[in-house]
Structure 1
Amino acid sequence: MSGIPEAVRVHLGMELKALYASILDEDQPPTLLGLIAQLDVGSTPATPAVPDAFRAGLLDALPGLRAFAVSLTINPTAADDLVQETLLKAWANRHRFESGSNLMAWLCTILRNQFYTVCRKRKREVEDADGVLAGKILAPAAQEASSDLRRVWEHLGKLPAAQREALMLVAAQGMTYEAAAELIGCQVGTMKSRVSRARSFLAGSLGMEPRHAAAT
């Protein structure tokens, strides 16, 4: 559990939920919508109905998938590239997806694996340290709803990706520690520690608590 006051935790949670909702409410990029529409069904190893259902599932998952990508990259352009690669990989491996299981979780696993592959190749995190790009993606309605929302978003970009991911899953999306740990593939205790450190860093950055250095 985070050592910050409960009122601070609640306030940060409200801001993060509003932030996540603002990303979900954005119009989806035409490039991604077009990609899904144009995915080839000719080489499908299954019945014709399966690709259509899978394509529909990709469309339904797109807002949440893109929001997850944005929370990882803090860069809308990089997020869209990441989602595009995820969609292509998912389509190529659709025969591996078990019908009836959680498509969103499966897609998020592909997306985050791709993200960290890119990070390893670049030997640095993909982030906008100054929050310049991050501040441009907020919906106007969300900016008007809270004077703190933009500042919260800007400081998210200064967190290590692992902490930012954990915080967005638990505090913004409302996942349990157990569910988030299962998705990421880490111990529940590790998930709790990452969320706690991220909360403390944001609280300090926003002047709510003495600032703690972010650490992985």
Structure 2
Amino acid sequence: MTQPEPALRDALLAAVPSLRAFAISLTGQVDRADDLVQDTLLRALSNIDRFERGTNLNAWLFTILRNLFHSEYRKRRREVEDADGSYAARLKAQPEQGARLDFEDFRAALSTLPADQREALLLVGASGFSYEEAANICGCAVGTIKSRVNRARSRLTQILAVDGDEDLGADRITRAALQAASG
């Protein structure tokens, strides 16, 4: 494997937190997300000669991560693990703070969205990609991304019964996350 030049290596390392956040949102599990990020970086490093200098490195990395996630999802689609959720329910510790409950409500609502809408919303609203960059990552038209984000925001607003900013939670982090989702 060829070693990337220092500036490219630094850019790869700088992308790790955003990749990890996106991976966690896709998988819902920190361990699986960390594995996905690691696989993404390994794939990127082994194919670094295919990266076109001067293009968006983050978009390239997010595309790799997304493709790896979907490949893994197709493989795991037929696996059945704790189908009724009873085992997972026994492992949960009930949160003690309202903000945590709000965040869990948000995560639950987010998980009910169709995968394409959730993915578009996370790329644009949470990861800060432009509509154009998100469209490139997902391999679709800009209008498609805009439509998916709009439908996702509308659906989340409906599920969470958000009528105004006062419904967006008590702490600034929860408010920021919900504001990004509600547009």
- For the criterion TM > 0.5, the same-fold answer is yes
Separation in structure 1 between the aligned mates of residue 69 and residue 123 of structure 2, nearest angstrom? 16
Counterparts in 2 of 1:174 and 1:96: CA distance versus 1, 3 Å? closer
Deviation at 1:109, TM superposition (A): 0.9
What is the 5 A alignment of 1:69-148? 69-123=23-77, 148=102
For residues 15-37 of structure 1, give each alpha carbon's deviation from its aligned partner in whole angstroms, at most 9, with x where no partner exists.
Answer: xxxxxxxxxxxxxxxxxxxxxxx
Separation in structure 2 between the aligned mates of residue 68 and residue 118 of structure 1, nearest angstrom? 15
2:118 to 131, 150, 164: 164
The aligned residue for residue 10 of structure 1 is: none
Counterparts in 2 of 1:176 and 1:96: CA distance versus 1, 3 Å? closer
Q: Which runs of 5+ in 2 are unaligned?
A: 164-183
- Contact kept, 8 Å, 1:177 with 1:188, in 2: the verdict is yes
Deviation at 1:66, TM superposition (A): 0.8
> What is the DSSP-based 3-state SS (H/G/I as helix, E as strand, rest coil) of the residue aligned with 1:186?
coil
Could you say which structure has the greater relative contact order, defined with CA pairs below 8 angstroms and 6 or more residues apart? 1
Pairwise CA RMSD: 3.1
Separation in structure 2 between the aligned mates of residue 63 and residue 199 of structure 1, nearest angstrom? 24
Separation in structure 1 between the aligned mates of residue 133 and residue 54 of structure 2, nearest angstrom? 18
Separation in structure 1 between the aligned mates of residue 149 and residue 98 of structure 2, nearest angstrom? 27
Separation in structure 1 between the aligned mates of residue 157 and residue 143 of structure 2, nearest angstrom? 21
Q: TM-score, normalised by structure 2?
A: 0.69
Letter in 2 for 1:173: S
Q: Which runs of 5+ in 1 are unaligned?
A: 1-42, 137-142, 210-216
1:179 to 133, 140, 165: 133
The aligned residue for residue 24 of structure 1 is: none
Bigger helix share: 2
List structure 1 segments (4+ residues) > 6 angstroms apart after TM superposition: 129-132, 143-147
Residue 54 in 1 paired to residue 8 in 2? Answer: yes
- Contact kept, 8 Å, 2:59 with 2:133, in 1: the verdict is no
Letter in 2 for 1:197: R
